[in-house]
Structures are given as C-alpha cells and as structure tokens.
C-alpha cells in the first residue's frame, strides 16, 4: 500500500504552482570573496609575502650578485612595482568585465611608465635607479614570483569579472 501523492498528483500540483522563480542573492560573488579574503590574517600574510619578496631581491642583489646599493634598490623597486601592480589587478579587477579591462589597461600603462623610467636618463637619475643587468632582472622576476606566490596563497588572486554580474549581463 502506497502513502502520499502519486507522481502524477505531484506533477499536477507543481504545474498548478507555476514556474519557480530563481532567488537572487543579496550579495555578489565579488563582495563575498572580498569579505572572506580581506581578513586581518590574510592582510598580514600578504604583507609578509610582499616584504619577504622585496627584501629577498634586495639582499640577493646586494650580497650574491655583488651589486651596488643603487642596483639593489633598483631590484627592490622593480619587485615592489611588479607586486603592487599585481595587487591592484587582484583587488580591483573583480567587479565587471569592463572594469577588469580598464584596470588591466591602467596596470599595463603604469608598468610601461616604470620601464620608461629606465630608458630616460633624467628620470632614472631622479629616482636613483640604475640600468638593470640580466642578473638584476632575473632576481627581480624571481623575487616578484615569490611575493606574488605568497599573495596568491593568502587569497589575493585576480578574478576576471564578477560571476554574478556577468550572469545578469547575459540574461
């Protein structure tokens, strides 16, 4: 003996109710990610990673590559600029695809201006930078990867467009 509604009765009742409306979330994915990533622990861990990468690049250039203080400062500045631009991408590019594109363009422009600072002797002297050697560039890249890796472990990763906003735009 069966109890409850038959499949036909259940289907008839569901059809009488009409289509089920999709409930909208009160928060976007971006706001949820920011609330869970921008915690005190993650900020401290991220700052530690950035500091470690910068100091590592500076000390490696100074002691292992036998660079001058000015050259070691150049490596540290390159690490800070690279990591800073990555952090801007990670924190600001998550709202919409358009914003992601604008932020990426801004970061590329700022990176280009940083490279231009090396090309223009007056600007290079003003900021007390030196022309980087291949070893300095390799050190800056490795130290940047170390710092960006620490930021990624702390949850600071760029997200190309907010999924909730993108889904709304498509409908």
The pLDDT tens digits of the residues spanning 21-69 come to: 777 767 776 677 677 777 778 778 878 888 888 888 899 998 988 889 9
Determine the average pLDDT of the residues in 90-115.
82
Please state the domain extents for the chain: 28-158
Mean per-residue pLDDT over the chain, rounded: 81
Q: What is the pLDDT of residue 142?
A: 92
Give the span between the Cα atoms of 155 and 167, in whole angstroms: 23
Least confident of 21-35, 66-80, 96-110, 139-153: 21-35
Determine the average pLDDT of the residues in 10-14.
85
Give the closest residue to 52 by CA, choosing from 119, 137, 143, 127.
Answer: 143
Give the closest residue to 71 by CA, choosing from 10, 6, 140.
Answer: 140
Give the span between the Cα atoms of 79 and 49, in whole angstroms: 12
| Stated pTM of the model | 0.68
Which 8-state DSSP code applies to residue 147? H
Grade residue 2 by pLDDT with cuts at 50, 70 and 90: low
Q: How far does CA 169 lie from the centroid of its chain?
A: 23
Widest pairwise Cα distance in the chain: 93
Q: What is the pLDDT of residue 166?
A: 39
Q: What is the pLDDT of residue 79?
A: 92
Give the span between the Cα atoms of 104 and 102, in whole angstroms: 5
Give the closest residue to 151 by CA, choosing from 37, 35, 36, 33.
Answer: 37
Q: What are phi and psi of 37, to 5 degrees?
A: -95, -40
Which residue's entry shows tokens 């390159």?
A: 78
Give the span between the Cα atoms of 20 and 71, in whole angstroms: 65
Contact 165/96 with Cβ under 8 angstroms? yes
Q: What is the pLDDT of residue 51?
A: 86
């Amino acid at each position: 003996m069966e109890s409850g509604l038959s499949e036909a009765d259940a289907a008839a009742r569901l059809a009488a109710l009409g289509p089920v409306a999709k409930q909208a979330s009160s928060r976007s994915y971006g706001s949820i990610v920011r609330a869970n990533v921008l915690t005190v622990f993650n900020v401290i861990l991220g700052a530690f990673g950035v500091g470690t990468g910068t100091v590592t690049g500076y000390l490696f250039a100074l002691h292992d590559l036998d660079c001058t203080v000015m050259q070691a400062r150049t490596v540290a500045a390159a690490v800070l600029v690279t990591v800073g631009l990555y952090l801007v991408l990670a924190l600001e590019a998550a709202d919409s695809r358009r914003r992601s594109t604008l932020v990426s363009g801004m970061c590329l422009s700022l990176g280009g201006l940083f490279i231009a600072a090396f090309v223009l002797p007056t600007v290079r002297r003003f900021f007390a930078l030196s022309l980087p050697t291949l070893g300095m560039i390799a050190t800056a890249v490795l130290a940047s990867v170390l710092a960006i890796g620490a930021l990624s472990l702390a949850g600071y990763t760029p997200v190309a467009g907010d999924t909730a906003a993108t889904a709304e735009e498509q409908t």
